[in-house]
Amino acid sequence: MIRLDIDHLPSGATPKPVWLWWSGTGAGEADTDRLWQAYLRRFDIEHTFRLFKQTLGWTCPKIRTPEAADRWTWLILAAYTQLRLARPLAADRRRPWEKPVSSDRLTPARVRRDFRHIRPTAACPAQAPKPTRPGPGRPPGRKNTGTRSRPPHGPAAQVKDQAKGLPIINLLF
């Protein structure tokens, strides 16, 4: 266990000691610095997972297989990466109670708010679809050789069956 004593807090409150767990022995000054910096970064990590779950819908779908869960996780990570890369293109569309920030300090949630304005201006790697007409279909005079997906039914089919001499059975329940 490592005890960190804090000299002062920006708010002016009375600081309490912070206890950090370390599994190694003989933690040096560099290890202690890395530990308290990692402790401070935990808020960023927790907020990232909150964004994944609440905003990007990481836990929303009902996934049946582990492979599908892996694919969904990779899609969420791709969406997050896209939001991070679009940060320089985004404008700050803030809510009335939020403070304005520069475009290099926008959070992924704020970039997502402006994404509908970014998307039309971004280049699309796909080409425009070619105009097309319906295909020519079956040539005139040629019979349909496709198999039926199910047997015919209805009054017309019953008339044909009667002409063939097949019995018609109507079941009444």
The full DSSP string for 42-88 is: HHHHHHHHHIIIIIS-TT-S---SHHHHHHHHHHHHHHHHHHHHTGG
Cβ–Cβ under 8 Å, residues 18 and 2: no
Give the pLDDT band (50/70/90) at residue 69. Answer: very high
Q: What number of other Cβ atoms are within 10 A of residue 59's Cβ?
A: 11
Q: Which residues contact 23 (CB under 8 A, 6 or more apart)?
A: none
Q: Which residue has the higher pLDDT, 105 or 124?
A: 105
77 pLDDT more than 90: yes
Q: What is the dihedral of CA 99, 102, 108, 112, to 10 degrees?
A: 80
Can you give the pLDDT at residue 173? Answer: 47
pLDDT tens, residue by residue, 2-20: 777 778 777 888 888 878 7
Confidence band for 160, pLDDT divided at 50, 70 and 90: low
Predicted TM-score (pTM) of this structure: 0.55
pLDDT digits (tens, 9 = 90+) for 108-155: 888 888 888 888 887 777 888 888 887 788 888 888 887 777 766 666
User: Of how many residues is the chain composed?
Assistant: 173
Q: Which pLDDT tens digit goes with each residue over 23-43?
A: 877 778 887 788 878 888 888
130: amino acid identity, one letter = K
Q: With a cut of 80, say whether residue 96 has pLDDT above it.
A: yes
Tell me: pLDDT of 67 over 90: yes
